[in-house]
Structure 1
Amino acid sequence: MTAALRRLDPPFLSQQLRAAPAMTRPLMLDIIAHACRRVPTLAEGKRPARIMRLIDVEAWADAALALIELELPMWQVRRIAYDEGEWHCALSRARELPDWLDAAVEARHSDLALALLSALVEVRATDVPRPRVPSVPPVLDPLYAPLTCDNFG
Structure 2
Amino acid sequence: MFALSERQQPAGIHDRLRQAHAVTAELISDVIGETCQRLAAIGPTEKTARIRRLIQSEAWTDAALALIDLEIPQWRLRRIAYDEGEWHCALSRQRELPEWLDQSIEARHADLPLAILSAFVEAKAASAPASRTSVPAVPRNADAIYEPVLSENFA
TM-score (norm 2): 0.76
The residue that corresponds to 1:20 in the other structure is: 20
| Pairs within 5 Å for 1:85-100 | 85-100=85-100
Structure 2: runs of 5+ lacking an equivalent: 1-7, 135-155
* Offset at residue 129 of structure 1 (A): 3.1
Structure 1's 28 and 128: CA in aligned 2 closer, same or farther, altered over 3 A?
Answer: closer
Q: Secondary structure at the match of 1:103?
A: coil
TM-score (norm 1): 0.77
State yes or no: 1:77 paired with 2:91: no
> After superposition, what is the alpha-carbon deviation per residue over 1:16-75, rounded to whole angstroms, capped at 9, x for unaligned?
100100000000011000011111112211101100000000000000000000011111
Structure 1: runs of 5+ lacking an equivalent: 1-7, 136-153
Q: Secondary structure at the match of 2:103?
A: coil
* Offset at residue 13 of structure 1 (A): 1.1
The residue that corresponds to 2:30 in the other structure is: 30
* Offset at residue 10 of structure 1 (A): 1.4
User: Higher relative contact order by CA 8 Å / sep ≥ 6: 1 or 2?
Assistant: 2
Percent identity among equivalent residues? 56
Q: Secondary structure at the match of 1:102?
A: coil
The aligned amino acid for 2:40 is P
Contact 1:87/1:109, CA 8 A, preserved across alignment: yes
CA distance in 2, matches of 1:77, 1:31: 18
Structure 1's 102 and 9: CA in aligned 2 closer, same or farther, altered over 3 A?
Answer: closer
* Offset at residue 127 of structure 1 (A): 2.0
Contact 1:76/1:93, CA 8 A, preserved across alignment: yes
CA distance in 1, matches of 2:54, 2:73: 19
